Every structure is written in C-alpha cells, then in structure tokens.
Structure 1
C-alpha cells in the first residue's frame, strides 16, 4: 500500500486506486469506534472518492448504532464496497448490515480478496 494508516481497529491504505481496509482480529465496534474509523479513512482519502475492499473477518461484534453510522455517514467518499467474509460470524454481521441498513452504494459480500478486487475493478477511476 502506498499511503497507509493504522488505528486500534484496523489497518488501511490506498493501493492501485482502491482503499484496502483490514480490521484487526477480535475487534468489537461501538459508535465511537465507527466514528473514528470513518474519520481516519476520510483523512487518508484526502477528499477523493474510492472503491473500498473491506476485510471484516476480524470483527467479533458491532452494535446497531455503529452499523447504522457505517452504512450512512461511512459511505462518504465511497464509490463501492466489497466485504471479505469467509466465516459464519462475519457472514452474519454482514447480512445484518446489508439487510438493516441498505447501504446507498454498490456493495457485495465476497469470500476472497481476488473476488473483491474483481468486483471493484469496474469502479476504479
């Protein structure tokens, strides 16, 4: 990754026109954490919109307010999102997010990084 950032929740950076976002292992996210995550991502993006590859396999819990914030305010400067989810827990969390919050941008759940990059390739500017 060329430009990168890390906080207590995730590591993220911009590489080949895509923001790659990897949540750390065993992370629980509340509203304050979601706000910090979005704020840091927006600083990294410096006013430019990108597609996002988001590896959520490390998340063990995310509360309703955090999910809602990430679906709405978290969509700022986001062209499309691919969530990497290859285990039952991350799949349940992703299903909750997709059903309850209906993100306003193209969003797909994938099982691998390659599949996510293929989906996002149509959105790279």
Structure 2
C-alpha cells in the first residue's frame, strides 16, 4: 500500500517505512499533524524503522519540528534522514540538535548508507 498527501509519499518495503517529501514543501504544525496521521494509517499499529528523504523540504517551523520529535516518533524504531542537499542537511541537523528525537536518528547522504543504519532495526 502507498499513501500520498500534499506533502509526502509513504510506503513499506522489506520491513522499512519509506517516506519521501515532495519538492518545495513548507512544513508547519498542521502539515506535521497530517503527515503523522497518514503515516500511522499506513503502519496500522506496527512499529517500523523509517527512511525519510528530506530533499524536498524548503522550510520547517519550530512547532512542526517539536511535534515530529515527540508525538511524531510514535511507532518508529529508528529514523534515517537522507539529506543530500545543503539545505536538507541543515534542516536535518537543526531538527536533531534542537529536538533530541527519542529514537535513534542519523543523517545520511545516500539511501544505501541509511539502509545500512536501519538494517539493525528491521
């Protein structure tokens, strides 16, 4: 099953939840709530490691970052942020430094590196 909203696409493959932001999205609190709600529908109460490609994010506000770090971490074993542009790298680093996510979280340049990190959580 694949879920898509105006901000991202989500799917599960080989025990990993893949999450790809659409291009040029601006994430605010109501967007974060929608994203988490759709992710939870896909997961159906099961916990997964998550590979999140942040390339398309152009901005994310403080309330959205806080929401993702707390309520948004439900049913996540670990999260790998694929940040292969300077902006996505800065946004990912800001998220981790400022919000201390409660699950293991790493930033990677490539999907392959992220999958290695997540493999121990599958």
TM-score for both structures, normalised by structure 2: 0.99
Between the aligned partners of 2:104 and 2:27, the Cα distance in structure 1 is 23
Q: Within 5 Å, give how 1:1-125 maps onto structure 2.
A: 3-124=1-122
CA distance in structure 1 between the partners assigned to 2:37 and 2:100 by the alignment: 21
Superimposed CA distance per residue, residues 96-120 of structure 1 (whole angstroms, 9 cap, x where no aligned partner): 1001100000000000011111110
Please give the alpha-carbon distance, in whole angstroms, between the structure 1 residues aligned to 2:93 and 2:107.
9
Moved over 2 A (4+): none
User: Residue deviations 1:43-64, cap 9 Å, x none?
Assistant: 1000000000000000000000
The 1-side partners of 2:98 and 2:116 are apart by 26
Which segments of 5 or more consecutive residues in structure 1 lack a partner in the other structure? none
After superposition, what is the alpha-carbon deviation per residue over 1:70-124, rounded to whole angstroms, capped at 9, x for unaligned? Answer: 0111100000000000111011101110011000000000000111111100000
Relative to the length of structure 1, the TM-score reads: 0.96
Mark the runs of 5 or more structure 2 residues left unpaired by the alignment. Answer: none
Matched length: 122
Partner deviation per Cα, 1:27-52 (whole Å, 9 max, x = no partner): 00000000000000001000000000
- Give me the CA root mean square deviation: 0.5
